[in-house]
């Protein structure tokens, strides 16, 4: 199973990662963080993540702190 | 159950300070550029011998992010300070991280003369076509027609003259070993930018001369565009004025 | 030790090399260009850093960069070009870097002329940079002192991690005198705990002046001023000449002191009770010495090759206890022994 680690306290809700995920596994969240932004959420119930790390490469704030591939 | 081997394909670079957070606006490309610099420092094992030179503008607090030694230069003078560092410490790795206003407006003399002298340093210039930190005024790279706080009717020839093409100018200097223009608008271009940064570092280590990369970046706040629209602007408007590519490689 | 006949400019340059200067960065301007010329040859021979900078602004910032790594580095310049360096001097003071700047005064304002002048007392001691900061300023009056005070400039810059200016003028820079090049007499100061040497086996270090948080900026400036207090307590240097029982004390700095001394000798022969106090450190200023002498003398006469700059510091020090007169000329007008003696006699009559 591939997955990403998300630090929601770092997310500024630019949503650039939402667009680059080829499997559309990152969505705009509905719960605000301490910055007042609505950070993204990673939803992968069907284990579709391919561990490409494009979301982490795109994120300007290193809110995606780790990408793990098996 | 079969135990699989987990492998990290992305991690916080060691050359960034643990726990640091970028203070940039949402969607600003500065964070990506600094992370790429840190990744290349890690991969080339340069952190411990690096002395970075910070500049003035949104780029200023480099020392809060990079876990390397760092000195701040007055506005525009990063490459003069870098020259002083390198000439008295030839065994150290010296890099500057500057904006286009710092590098190509107030610091144009220092920047081009460092290139002309062939200083063995690496310079990274973030070009976002505006003065970001002061609130989005017209800068040396503001393109024709661009509306900013100080070009309310758009940049025109009569009042502002023309923008500077930095990578091309640096490439004209005999002391330059590498000069390229990259962009952070897409994953493919982020990867190319990382390779250009690596090349910029390599020419210093090989003693070939001045290494330079200009990185087209966004300023969503002052462009009054979303982060997504900002990258579209880079592709649709800036690529025509500032074509990507390697302008010099010795 | 054998004596060598040399100019002030060459004396300063050779002394800087003897002091272990690792890097010279400069841009030519009369009357100090010979320092850069001398350095271009010697530094390359010694394989030390030398750069023909593209401007004085670049030169001082190269020194900033070099000094941030703990290197001993310097630049030299003059008047209107030292003006260009003021922004960086403020950064350097805030960064606490051991920068040495040799400032060889020419006449001003503006481009002025290359005649000797002392018109940059204010520029050196008060400065044109922004914010609260102080620069150590040493003023030689002989070519021998150009050597001794160049040594001291490097020492004090390192000891206090503070920019230090050697304030000479075109007369001293261009004249030849027999001098002794003694060895650099001061201990080397460790740079281990602050210099940028690469973050190996220690935490990374940063040298910067931006203070985003108010408290931190206040604390930083207070730390600086505690250091300045130490400098003021420990480093005051001056020359006293025939001040015992003097009714009139002539006070001056730099090259003009040579003529003042001769004038005092002439006046003493005529029975006038006159002496001289010459600050060698313009910052820290010998305020306490003035206050002490103000108790016994009747009057001070400040003589400068300008329209009256140091006289303000003398008046602040004397604080109204006795009158402080001024005699001076600007734009490179040399004050002869006769001019000075006549002024002393006029004030005594």
What string of DSSP letters covers chain B? -PPPPPEEEEE--TTBPTT----PPTT-THHHHHHHHHHHHHHTT-GGGEEEEE-SSTTTTHHHHBSSEEEE--TT-HHHHHHHHHHH-TTSEEEEEEEHHIIIIITHHHHHHHHHTT-S-EEEEEE-SSBTTTTSB--TTPPTT--BTTBTT---HHHH-----HHHHHHTSTTEEEEEEEE-SSHHHHHHHHHHHHHHHHHHHTT--EEEEEEE---HHHHTS-HHHHHHHIIIIIHHHS--EEEEE-
CA A52 from chain centre, in angstroms, equals 12
- Residues paired with C104 in a beta bridge: C168
In this structure, how many other beta carbons lie within 10 angstroms of the beta carbon of residue C151? 18
Structure tokens at C310: 């140091």
Query: Taking CB atoms and an 8 Å cutoff, what residues of chain A touch B29?
Result: 60
C211 assigned to some structural domain? no
**Architecture, CATH, for domain B30-249:** 3-Layer(aba) Sandwich (3.40)
C269: CATH: 3.40.50.920
C203 assigned to some structural domain? no
Q: Which domain holds residue C31?
A: 4-198+222-234
Q: Choose the closest CB to B28 out of A10, A53, A60.
A: A60
Indicate whether C43 and C160 sit together in one domain: yes
CA B221 from chain centre, in angstroms, equals 19
Determine the pLDDT at residue B2. 59
Which chains would you list as touching A if contact means 3+ CB atom pairs under 8 Å? B
Rounded CA-CA distance C78/C82 in Å is: 5
DSSP track, B107-156: THHHHHHHHHTT-S-EEEEEE-SSBTTTTSB--TTPPTT--BTTBTT---
Indicate whether C194 and C261 sit together in one domain: no
In this structure, how many other beta carbons lie within 10 angstroms of the beta carbon of residue C55? 16
Indicate whether C29 and C168 sit together in one domain: yes
Beta carbons of B227 and A15 less than 8 Å apart: yes
Query: Taking CB atoms and an 8 Å cutoff, what residues of chain A touch B191?
Result: 57
- Helix (H, G, I), strand (E, B), or coil: what is residue A69? strand
B155-194 pLDDT, tens digit per residue, is 999 999 999 999 999 999 999 999 999 999 999 999 999 9
Domain tally for chain A? 1
Rounded CA-CA distance B239/A47 in Å is: 38
Radius of gyration of chain B (CA): 18
C209 assigned to some structural domain? no
B50-54 and B93-99: which strand pairing? parallel
How far does A35 lie from chain B, in Å, by closest CA?
11
C148: CATH: 3.40.50.970
Q: Which domain holds residue A47?
A: 3-68
Spans of chain C below 50 pLDDT:
none
Give the up-direction half-sphere exposure of residue C206: CA atoms within 13 A in the CB hemisphere: 19
Beta carbons of B54 and C208 less than 8 Å apart: yes
Spans of chain B below 70 pLDDT:
1-4
Beta carbons of B69 and C196 less than 8 Å apart: yes
C216 assigned to some structural domain? no
Rounded CA-CA distance A11/A13 in Å is: 6
Indicate whether C301 and C172 sit together in one domain: no
| Direct distance between the N- and C-terminal alpha carbons of chain B, in angstroms, rounded to an integer | 55
Q: Select the residue from A62, A68, A70 to test the B interface by mutation, using most B Cβ atoms within 10 A.
A: A62
A11: CATH: 3.30.70.20
Determine the pLDDT at residue C217. 80
Domain tally for chain C? 2
Q: Choose the closest CB to B60 out of C198, C204, C210.
A: C210
A3-62 pLDDT, tens digit per residue, is 999 999 999 999 999 999 999 999 999 999 998 999 999 999 999 999 999 999 999 999
Is the distance from CB of B247 to CB of B167 less than 8 angstroms? yes
Is the distance from CB of C238 to CB of C292 less than 8 angstroms? no
- Helix (H, G, I), strand (E, B), or coil: what is residue C346? helix
Is the distance from CB of B113 to CB of B82 less than 8 angstroms? no
Is the distance from CB of C106 to CB of C132 less than 8 angstroms? no
């Amino acid at each position: 199973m591939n997955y990403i680690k998300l630090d929601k306290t770092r997310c500024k809700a630019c949503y650039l990662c939402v667009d680059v995920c080829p499997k559309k596994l990152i969505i705009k969240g509905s719960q605000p963080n301490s910055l007042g932004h609505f950070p993204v959420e990673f939803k992968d119930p069907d284990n579709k993540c391919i561990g490409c790390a494009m979301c982490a490469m795109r994120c300007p704030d290193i809110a995606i702190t780790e990408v793990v591939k098996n | 159950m079969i135990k699989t081997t987990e492998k990290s394909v992305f991690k916080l670079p060691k050359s960034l300070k643990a726990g640091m957070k970028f203070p940039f606006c949402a969607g600003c490309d500065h964070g990506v550029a600094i992370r790429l610099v840190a990744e290349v420092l890690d991969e080339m094992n340069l952190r411990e011998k690096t002395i970075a030179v910070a500049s003035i503008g949104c780029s200023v607090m480099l020392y809060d992010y990079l876990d390397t030694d760092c000195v701040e230069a007055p506005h525009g003078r990063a490459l003069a300070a870098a020259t002083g560092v390198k000439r008295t410490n030839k065994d150290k790795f010296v890099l500057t991280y500057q904006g286009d206003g710092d590098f190509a407006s107030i610091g144009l003399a220092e920047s081009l003369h460092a290139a002309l002298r062939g200083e063995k340093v690496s310079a990274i210039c973030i070009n976002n076509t505006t003065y970001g930190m002061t609130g989005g005024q017209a800068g040396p790279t503001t393109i024709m027609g661009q509306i900013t706080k100080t070009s309310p009717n758009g940049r025109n020839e009569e009042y502002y003259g023309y923008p500077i093409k930095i990578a091309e100018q640096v490439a004209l200097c005999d002391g330059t070993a590498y000069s390229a223009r990259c962009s952070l608008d897409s994953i493919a271009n982020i990867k190319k930018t990382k390779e250009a940064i690596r090349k910029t570092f390599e020419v210093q280590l090989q003693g070939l001369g001045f290494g330079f990369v200009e990185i087209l970046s966004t300023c969503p706040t002052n462009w009054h565009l979303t982060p997504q629209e900002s990258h579209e602007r880079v592709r649709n408007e800036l690529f025509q004025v500032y074509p990507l590519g390697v302008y010099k490689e010795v | 030790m054998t004596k060598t006949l040399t100019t002030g400019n060459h004396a300063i340059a050779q002394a800087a090399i003897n002091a272990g200067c690792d890097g010279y960065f400069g841009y030519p301007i009369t009357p100090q260009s010979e320092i850069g010329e001398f350095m271009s040859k010697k530094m390359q021979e010694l394989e030390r850093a030398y750069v023909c900078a593209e401007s004085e602004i670049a030169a001082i910032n190269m020194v900033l960069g070099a000094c941030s790594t703990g290197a001993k580095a310097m630049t030299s310049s003059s008047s209107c070009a030292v003006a260009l360096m003021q922004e960086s001097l403020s950064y350097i003071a805030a960064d606490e870097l051991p920068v040495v700047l040799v400032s060889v005064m020419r006449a001003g304002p503006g481009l002025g002329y290359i005649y000797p002048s002392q018109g940059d007392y204010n520029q050196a001691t008060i400065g044109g940079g922004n914010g609260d900061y102080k620069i150590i300023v040493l003023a030689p009056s002989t070519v021998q002192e150009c050597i001794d005070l160049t040594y001291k400039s490097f020492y004090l810059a390192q000891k206090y991690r503070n920019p230090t200016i050697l304030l000479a003028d075109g007369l001293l820079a261009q004249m030849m005198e027999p001098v002794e090049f003694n060895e650099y007499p001061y201990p080397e100061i460790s740079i281990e705990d602050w210099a940028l040497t690469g973050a190996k086996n220690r935490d990374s270090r940063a040298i910067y002046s931006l203070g985003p948080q108010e408290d931190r900026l206040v604390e930083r400036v207070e730390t600086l001023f505690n250091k300045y207090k130490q400098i003021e307590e420990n480093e005051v240097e001056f020359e006293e000449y025939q001040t015992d029982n003097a009714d009139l004390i002539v006070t001056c700095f730099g090259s003009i002191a040579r003529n003042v001394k001769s004038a005092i000798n002439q006046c003493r022969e005529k029975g006038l009770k006159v002496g001289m106090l010459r600050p060698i450190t313009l910052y820290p200023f010998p305020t306490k010495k003035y206050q002490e002498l103000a108790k016994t003398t009747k009057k001070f006469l400040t003589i400068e090759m300008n329209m009256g700059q140091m006289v303000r510091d003398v008046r602040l020090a004397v604080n109204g206890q006795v009158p402080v007169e001024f005699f001076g000329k600007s734009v490179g007008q040399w004050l002869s022994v006769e001019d000075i003696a006549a002024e002393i006699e006029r004030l005594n009559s």
